[in-house]
């Protein structure tokens, strides 16, 4: 079951159908989508609805996404997990009006803590496109370290982009928390 996680300012919970318009509004912004691998630009309401239809409370932790609510502002961003060939990956985005307040650091920290508590995985992977200093700063704060460079497709840009690959080990996380 996708739990409800509360942090000092946020509630993380299962994404639901009613989030569609907020998800569309925030992701239909090249400044957001252009930093993500799998989000097209423009991003339509049908895209948001299709993604929300895949979110179920019974998904395993490695496929779980959380919508982020900030007081009365619901669905301001998403933090979630998926499995790739290497292992579990964390990804996240936040609507532009909410940038620069430490909110994604707060959300990602809570989600990572939940992930390690809920799984036996010893390594969580992530990374950023080479120009995404804010996201790299978040990952460094959580204990992620750079493990290499690769290229990843960016759907919104329609091209491959240099990617800084990162990982966080359970032991590094435990040492910090």
Ligand X SMILES: CC(C)(COP(=O)(O)OP(=O)(O)OC[C@H]1O[C@@H](n2cnc3c(N)ncnc32)[C@H](O)[C@@H]1OP(=O)(O)O)[C@@H](O)C(=O)NCCC(=O)NCCS
Q: How far apart are CA 7 and CA 38, in angstroms?
A: 27
Selected from 137, 150, 151, 153, the binder of ligand X by CB under 6 A is 137
Selected from 12, 20, 112, 138, the binder of ligand X by CB under 6 A is 138
Q: How far is the CB of 125 from ligand X (least distance, A)?
A: 12
Q: How far apart are CA 6 and CA 69, in angstroms?
A: 10
Question: What is the DSSP secondary structure assignment for residue 19, as one 8-state letter?
Answer: G
Q: Which residues of 84-97 are buried (b: 16+ CB within 10 A; e: fewer)?
A: eeeebbbbbbbbee
| Cα–Cα–Cα angle for 167, 172, 177, rounded to 5 degrees | 120
Q: For residues 135 and 167, which CB has a smaller minimum distance to ligand X in the complex?
A: 135
Q: For residues 38 and 56, which CB has a smaller minimum distance to ligand X in the complex?
A: 38
Q: Does 39 bind ligand X (CB under 6 A)?
A: no
Q: How far apart are CA 78 and CA 65, in angstroms?
A: 7
**Contact set for ligand X, span 41-80 (CB under 6 A):** none
Q: For residues 65 and 132, which CB has a smaller minimum distance to ligand X in the complex?
A: 132
The binding site for ligand X (CB under 6 A) comprises 32, 35-36, 92-94, 99-105, 128, 132-135, 137-138
């Amino acid at each position: 079951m996708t739990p409800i996680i509360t942090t000092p300012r946020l509630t993380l919970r299962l994404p639901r159908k009613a989030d569609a318009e907020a998800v569309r509004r925030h992701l239909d912004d090249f400044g957001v989508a252009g930093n993500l691998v799998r989000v097209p630009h423009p991003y339509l309401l049908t895209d948001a609805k299709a993604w929300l239809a895949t979110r179920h409370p019974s998904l395993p932790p490695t496929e779980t996404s959380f919508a982020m609510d900030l007081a009365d502002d619901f669905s301001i961003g998403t933090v979630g997990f998926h499995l790739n060939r290497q292992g579990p990956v964390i990804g996240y985005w936040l609507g532009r009006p909410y940038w620069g307040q430490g909110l994604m650091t707060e959300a990602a920290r809570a989600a990572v803590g939940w992930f390690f508590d809920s799984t036996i995985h010893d390594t969580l992977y992530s990374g950023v496109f080479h120009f995404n200093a804010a996201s790299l700063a978040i990952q460094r704060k959580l204990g992620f370290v750079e493990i290499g460079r690769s290229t990843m497709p960016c759907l919104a840009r329609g091209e491959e982009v240099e990617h800084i690959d990162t990982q966080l080990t359970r032991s590094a996380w435990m040492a910090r928390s």
